[in-house]
Amino acid sequence: MQQDGGIMPNVWSSKDGKQYRHVTDSELDKGHGKDRAEGIAAYPIESSIT
């Protein structure tokens, strides 16, 4: 499932999605590339699910 140009698994809650978008945007603002920003954003959410 793609939302806002990023990959968001179906198991994420709306809160997780909001956190993911916020962290991704923040990392992009810091100058990180898109792939790195998405990886950084997904890590804490994925860690809490597993």
**Predicted local distance difference test score (pLDDT) of residue 47:** 80
* Residues 33 and 27 sit within 8 Å (Cβ to Cβ): no
Per the structure, how many domains does the chain have? 1
Four-CA torsion 8, 12, 24, 44, nearest 10 degrees: -130
pTM of the model: 0.71
**Predicted local distance difference test score (pLDDT) of residue 5:** 52
**Predicted local distance difference test score (pLDDT) of residue 44:** 85
The amino acid occupying position 17 is: G
Give the domain extent around 39: 2-49
Per residue in 1-50, pLDDT (tens digit) is: 344 556 655 678 889 889 999 999 999 999 999 999 999 999 888 887 76
